[in-house]
Amino acid sequence: DTLTAVAITVVGGTLSAGGSNAINMWFDADIDPLMSRTSKRPIPQGEISPRGALLFGLIIAIGGSAVFLLAHWKAAFWSAFSVLFYVLIYTIWLKRRSPQNIVIGGIAGATPPLIGWAVAAADTGALDGMNPLALGSPIPWMLFLLIFLWTPPHFWALALYRSGEYAKAKVPMMNEVRGAKSTLNQSKAYCFLLLMLGGVPCFWPASGLPLLWSFTSAGLTVWYGKSVWAIDPEEAFDENGRMPKAAKSFFRSLFYLGWMFLTLVIISAFPPAWLGPLGPLN
């Protein structure tokens, strides 16, 4: 039932995400003390040993993915995929090697809609077959793409806001390698792609998404995009050596993503007849 599905999602998601983060902190134990944002984590503070953090992370990450087996194996698959991608591809391979670290690594962070959809659709027959990519609808993949496209401008705003910290830790963030101006231009490009993504109900009626969400998505994306365009690469740092407008964009990005999902849920809850011409076009 619904409550069981919610419980599985919350417990499994919390454990698998928490385990991934714990393993990440174990691997980054040498650089976390160098950045103010991460210096107060449990390992730098001496609250847990690196080995203890690794063991704890492995146990709850594996346990979290296993919890999803109570719903459907595809949910467990995408949970395990997310953990492995985040740890092996992002944390160990890309983070310290490429300025595209959070772009490619964002694949791991974009999987929750796939996991949640697999849990919700477990008893509908939509997940039949052995292909983990087949989730019975294009909607979870559209939501995957939403998070994937949102991640670079969201995280690069944080990197600009805390400009210099990643360089101190020798993490090649885009703004440290290519400069603030190039990073902002790329962030604007991702905002444009987010705006296009909101048009899915218009150019892909088979998605079944209400047309109203296109207008809502466009409004929210413009609202968020304004904060990205407002970032000045020449802005003077504040007393803490940070860019205030980049901080504003970072925090606005959090509200933006939340509102994008919330409005989709609310709009989709209305019967199509209530929405009239603003309902699904299929």
φ, ψ of residue 240 to 5 degrees: the values are -100, 10
Name the packing angle between helices 73-84 and 2-27 (round to 10°): 20
Contact partners, residue 219, CB within 8 Å, separation at least 6: none
Average pLDDT over every residue of 265-282: 86
Task: With CA atoms as reference, report the closest residue to 83 among 115, 61, 106, 52.
Answer: 61
**Confidence check: pLDDT of 25 > 80:** yes
Of 81, 98, 128, the one marking the end of a domain is 128
Q: Which two tokens stand for residue 180?
A: 């603030």
- Looking at the fold, whether 188 and 97 belong to one and the same domain comes out as no
> pLDDT confidence of 125, banded at 50, 70, 90?
confident
pLDDT (mean) for 143-169:
93
Query: pLDDT over 90 for what percent of the chain?
Result: 78
First to last CA, the chain: 29
Looking at the structure, tell me whether residues 163 and 118 fall in a common domain. Answer: no
Residues 253 and 158 in one domain: yes
Q: Which residue has the higher pLDDT, 37 or 143?
A: 143
Please report, rounded to a whole number, the percentage of residues in the chain having pLDDT higher than 70. 99
Q: Decide if 79 contacts 14 (C-beta within 8 A).
A: no
pTM of the model: 0.94
For the chain, the domain total comes to 2
Domain termination residue (choose one: 128, 149, 171): 128
Report which of 58, 31, 60, 55 is spatially closest to residue 44, judged by C-alpha positions: 31
pLDDT band at 84 (very low <50, low <70, confident <90, very high): very high
Q: Are residues 124 and 147 in the same domain?
A: no
Residue 256's pLDDT band, with cuts at 50, 70 and 90, is very high
Would the pLDDT of 183 be above 90? yes
- In this prediction, residues 233-238 reach a mean pLDDT of 81
**Quick one: DSSP state of residue 235?**
P
